[in-house]
Structure 1
């Protein structure tokens, strides 16, 4: 199964950029309002990125993602989840280099002001569902300031011309100064605006079903439409039920929809009928839980097949890593390096053989670790791959079982040779040598002929010795 974070590599580099500095109020809003929505890991990631920019330039040098993983003590799935939570709420923008695939740019964005947050229907609703009514009201109250009534005051502010003197004659003598318009950072749509563009809500059916004599069409403003989309996406209210809720929240005298009353009616009805809370989760959370569940089930399955813990870890690791990364990992452990020839061998195995990448990884393990070969030789690798393909080795556990079988046969062959060698001469010293099955043998036909010549030479030498003994007698 493919997971979205599989394209993330700890060796990738990222550069930080901060266009707008964060104020103390921004940090307070992040801590109080945003943290319940994004979770502790995403909040810690954001604050870590913020603190990394200290030089006042708004930039940092590129550094590897592995540093973030070490500082936050999290893995790739959790880092990816924290990152996209920040992206989804407009706190982080991520850019990938067009030239270097392992280079990224992270741009930190300030949060919405408290006023804008609580005026955003989507943000307000998801916070309400996340923390509950009591805590929602407490948080909102922390950022609510009673505004003075403007009608009780009379403005006496001085105008520009009241304060500054503008000499028109002197101005005419000055040369015209041209100012270049600086490109400001483009402001992206808010989450609710993006949701409105992507939603499949059937507006035609919804509007046609409304009582047009009772509801003023002009009351379906942009704000009301965004509110309806937010309710539709969060509570799953269909178009037919939405008509009922809208009618119920419409003022009889003005025929206008009350945007404060509408979400209250929906929330009250939803919680009364369902007796449960809306679960606000990002898509990666489900994927992580699914992966953990699948991994746990996979371990149980492998244990039932008789594999021990070490073998299970080998199998699971073989499933998660690409062959070239697997090869690099083993070479690094052995203090070596991957040659261009080995890269081509991996490419040929992946493209030409019918073996899965996890089986190819076990093959690499067998050759470099099991056979203690310094390099992944093409001839041996292709012989093993052909044999495994012809014997329907389709999974890493099948491949590992095949390797164990080969080792058992190899030990049996050594023991047989050791017994036969001891009967020939006790003076001969047995030399331990790792024997390979026929398909993995590096011996060629010419070497077999040389062995026959050596046997003939030994027999001739034996006959000469026998004749020599007969002459002496």
Structure 2
């Protein structure tokens, strides 16, 4: 595993640039609203970089990372994690120059204004998760202002009520006024972005009609909220349909976005009393990598092959529709409407997690070498797994192995009984049949005692990348057809 911070050296130089002069209100926004989201280390990094820039200027003098690390009392990995948090949440842009010398520029971005912050679904929900409902309302009140009473009349004079100007002079000065000079301006603040490709919109839209929700009600604003809830609370396509039905107005057909966020928040915390933990891929440490290695070693000790482990990992990365589509493409086929319906029903009725359903798809189509993902066979297995409480891909793999073993043993017993019966009948048939050859049914290769199942090819990094590329093509086709 590669660690991106290893390319950063304490001897590397850096400069700090302010996007705009930061104010006291920006300081308050950072302290009260952003600090709970980014943590103490990232907050300290931002404030330290801010002090690097002299007052009323926009650039700092050159410095080395070693001095920055010394001020913060942290190492390179912790510094990198703090930096990417600032980048991800829109507070920092990082630029790198590699020649003639290696140097970084850290450009501080202004935090969102309070109104924009609380209207941003992701930022406001993250803050709510971190501080709780009582503190969230208190912070929102702190940054709100009381409206002027309607009993007051606005008597402010307009520009032309006070100032007069000569239009001819304005025309003659146009060449000077329009000179392209880079001036400090209040650029729009950055907001964190989420990947929308992990949500299967086709599958989501296909089930909306059963919830009596009109597709036209899914505006861009609603889509952004759905993606936020999908990433934050793990809300899948089926759950999204139910929540949107709950938040829709039957008279107008519109979605009440505030209610949508509240019902998802309340439902999640009814099922998960503990505070939501926000994990970030960039924070992978060597200790976490060691834990992952230990997990793989444990699976190997439990008898899982490399191909089994690879399938367990892949099963957690894609929706069932994406998974079966990829398999069918490899088989030079396509997913039929009937197969889509079977998978939709499994997701609705079985309550099996997505990785478990993907293991089932792999078993039916690849291990059993069936051309179609047929209803009767797949539902029989899914029903058994649901009743057995299968919730993880590892447990599903064990069920597959057990089912396959039982099927093989049953086949052997049946063949043994047939051969024994045939031999008895031939012995009692008399001397006229003594010289007649007794026909015995042959076991198929997979049922023989010495049979060794052909090993599935262990997916290399290139294979897995090809798998992802195929899925991206599938997703792009879906987008083009929307």
Q: TM-score range by the shorter chain?
A: 0.5 to 0.7
The more displaced of 256-265 and 125-134 is 125-134
> 1:9 and 2:18 equivalent?
no
Task: Report Cα offsets for 1:102-158 as digits up to 9, x if no partner.
Answer: 2111101111111111100011111112222222222222212233466x6654433
Task: Report Cα offsets for 1:273-326 as digits up to 9, x if no partner.
Answer: 233332113334342542687999xxxxxxxxxxxxxxxxxxxxxxxxxxxxxx
The verdict on how the C-alpha distance between 1:295 and 1:175 changes in structure 2, with shifts beyond 3 A counting, is closer
Q: Distance in 1 between matches of 2:169 and 2:46?
A: 52
Report deviation, 1:11. Answer: 0.9
TM-score (norm 2): 0.55
The more displaced of 90-99 and 53-62 is 53-62
The verdict on how the C-alpha distance between 1:180 and 1:135 changes in structure 2, with shifts beyond 3 A counting, is same
Give runs of aligned pairs for residues 195-214 of structure 1, distance below 5 A.
195-196=194-195, 198-211=196-209, 214=212
Task: Report Cα offsets for 1:143-190 as digits up to 9, x if no partner.
Answer: 12233466x665443332222223456667x56534124457775752
8 Å CA contact 1:16, 1:108 repeated in 2: yes
Give runs of aligned pairs for residues 110-149 of structure 1, distance below 5 A.
110-148=110-148
The aligned counterpart of 2:70 is 70
Residues paired across the two proteins, number: 292
Report deviation, 1:205. Answer: 2.0
The aligned counterpart of 1:444 is none
The verdict on how the C-alpha distance between 1:170 and 1:71 changes in structure 2, with shifts beyond 3 A counting, is closer
Aligned residue for 2:209, secondary structure, equals coil
8 Å CA contact 1:90, 1:190 repeated in 2: yes
> 1:268 and 2:266 equivalent?
yes
> 1:190 and 2:191 equivalent?
yes
Task: Report Cα offsets for 1:68-124 as digits up to 9, x if no partner.
Answer: 111111111111111111111111110001524621111011111111111000111
The more displaced of 221-230 and 275-284 is 275-284
The aligned counterpart of 2:469 is none
Larger radius of gyration: 1
Q: Distance in 2 between matches of 1:238 and 1:72?
A: 40
The verdict on how the C-alpha distance between 1:170 and 1:147 changes in structure 2, with shifts beyond 3 A counting, is closer
The aligned counterpart of 1:159 is 158
Q: Which of 242, 253, 256 is equivalent to 1:255?
A: 253
The aligned counterpart of 2:52 is 52
Give runs of aligned pairs for residues 369-408 of structure 1, distance below 5 A.
none
The verdict on how the C-alpha distance between 1:176 and 1:260 changes in structure 2, with shifts beyond 3 A counting, is closer
Q: Which runs of 5+ in 2 are unaligned?
A: 295-482
The more displaced of 69-78 and 177-186 is 177-186
Q: Which of 243, 246, 259 is equivalent to 1:245?
A: 243
Q: Distance in 1 between matches of 2:9 and 2:162?
A: 60
Aligned residue for 1:105, secondary structure, equals strand
Q: Distance in 2 between matches of 1:168 and 1:72?
A: 57
8 Å CA contact 1:5, 1:77 repeated in 2: yes
The aligned counterpart of 2:109 is 109
Give runs of aligned pairs for residues 64-463 of structure 1, distance below 5 A.
64-100=64-100, 102-148=102-148, 154-168=153-167, 174=172, 176-178=174-176, 179-183=178-182, 187=188, 190-191=191-192, 194-196=193-195, 198-211=196-209, 214-287=212-285, 289-290=287-288
The verdict on how the C-alpha distance between 1:213 and 1:288 changes in structure 2, with shifts beyond 3 A counting, is closer
